């Protein structure tokens, strides 16, 4: 399972880069895993001065658990499987963190790293990555996937309308060259929103780095800031004051309310450019999120995707958020975003040379 999991992690990274430091992992024994899964400490939900459950602080959803369940895996993992996965990740990190041979030959033309944005080099090493070092635990169960509904842990198939919308989006972008103008470059490359779905909704780990969040709340609003591209969601509480259907901001239009100790958030009006795993949202998309503080160090985050125009059934999952013992720093994406002007400038230079031939 260790080697299989390492291959699975690499495959996930293909998707991450296509749509767009190091944690020294400690091997986990079955005893440690058992302790993580079965804490029975009596605990009361803290409350703000407004009487609401207190979700505030810094949190992380970094995890080794994949988004979708690999074929042949059960919903819950055994302690032995967890130990193998986490030990395998620790060994992978240690191996990739070893000092490079200064006398090594240059990489072959085209490079050897399948994930790198800049191809010919080995780009990010383990110093810059922080994918997580633990399997997700929800309600005492070690999870093999973040998607839990449907029961196979897989995102449902697209409807014919969903497939048509994906095809239309590709056809539209296919009319232009990859570097014709800024608007054909990915949103993440333009520092508009992060790659993957860090800020959501749904808010998911990107399996790369910066899977961190800051939550601040008062009587009328909950603010969630994702470290990736310092994306911020402001959730209105109380009676709905919905935006017009033709106003569709990034991250959508969110309103929230409290059900006991759970913050429930409903989001509609997602921006059509803000695709999820390559699938543009329909006007019918509704995302329901539930944030439940379950102990001093944990929030269980549940999400439901309701869009029968796009998917053949309603689907969703659960993601544990763990208290982050540290600060969340400014991402400042635009300040260092040399890649966008450079690729556009390079394309114009190539066009100039073509004309001159």
User: Rounded distance, CA 247 to CA 283, Å?
Assistant: 11
Cα 4 to Cα 18, 61, 191, 356: the distances in Å are 22, 22, 33, 51
pLDDT tens sequence across 260-269: 999 999 999 9
Q: How far apart are CA 180 and CA 324, in angstroms?
A: 41
pLDDT at 41 over 90: no
Write down the domain spans for the chain: 2-37+47-334
pLDDT digits (tens, 9 = 90+) for 227-260: 999 899 999 998 878 899 999 999 999 999 999 9
Residue 5: closest CA among 132, 183, 110, 112: 132
**Max CA distance (Å), the chain:** 77
Mean model confidence pLDDT for the chain = 86
Whether 31 shows a pLDDT value over 60: the answer reads no
Task: Return d(Cα 268, Cα 282) in angstroms, integer.
Answer: 10
- Rounded to two decimals, the pTM is 0.85
Please, which residues bridge with residue 139 across strands?
Answer: none
């Amino acid at each position: 399972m260790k080697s299989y999991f390492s291959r699975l992690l690499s495959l996930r990274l293909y998707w991450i880069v296509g749509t767009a430091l190091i944690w020294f992992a400690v091997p986990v024994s079955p005893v440690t895993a058992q302790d993580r899964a079965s804490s029975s400490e009596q605990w009361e939900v803290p409350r703000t001065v407004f009487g609401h459950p207190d979700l505030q602080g810094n949190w992380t959803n970094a995890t080794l658990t994949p988004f979708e369940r690999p074929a042949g895996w059960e919903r819950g993992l055994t302690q032995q499987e967890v130990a193998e996965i986490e030990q395998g990740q620790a060994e992978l990190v240690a191996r990739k963190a070893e000092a490079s041979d200064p006398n090594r030959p240059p990489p072959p033309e085209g490079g050897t790293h399948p994930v790198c944005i800049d191809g010919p080099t080995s780009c990010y090493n383990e110093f810059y990555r922080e994918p997580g070092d633990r399997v997700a635990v929800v309600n005492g169960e070690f999870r093999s996937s973040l998607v839990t509904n449907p029961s196979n842990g897989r995102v449902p198939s697209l409807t014919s309308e969903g497939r048509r919308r994906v095809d239309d989006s590709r056809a539209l972008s296919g009319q232009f060259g990859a570097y014709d103008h800024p608007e054909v470059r990915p949103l993440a490359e333009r520092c508009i929103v992060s790659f993957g779905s860090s800020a959501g909704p749904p808010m998911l780990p990107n399996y790369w780095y910066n899977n961190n969040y800051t939550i601040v709340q008062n009587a009328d609003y909950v603010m969630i800031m994702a470290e990736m591209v310092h994306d911020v969601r402001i959730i209105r509480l109380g009676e709905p004051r919905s935006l017009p259907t033709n106003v569709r901001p990034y991250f959508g239009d969110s309103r929230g309310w409290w059900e006991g100790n759970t913050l429930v958030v409903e989001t509609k009006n997602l921006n059509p450019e803000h695709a999820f795993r390559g699938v543009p949202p329909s006007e019918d998309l509704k995302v329901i999120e539930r944030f439940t503080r379950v102990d001093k160090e944990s929030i269980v985050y549940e999400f439901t995707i309701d869009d029968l125009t796009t998917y053949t059934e309603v689907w969703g999952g659960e993601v544990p958020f763990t208290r982050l013992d540290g600060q969340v720093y400014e991402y400042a994406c635009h300040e260092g975003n040399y890649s966008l002007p450079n690729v556009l400038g390079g394309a114009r230079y190539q066009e100039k040379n073509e004309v001159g031939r």
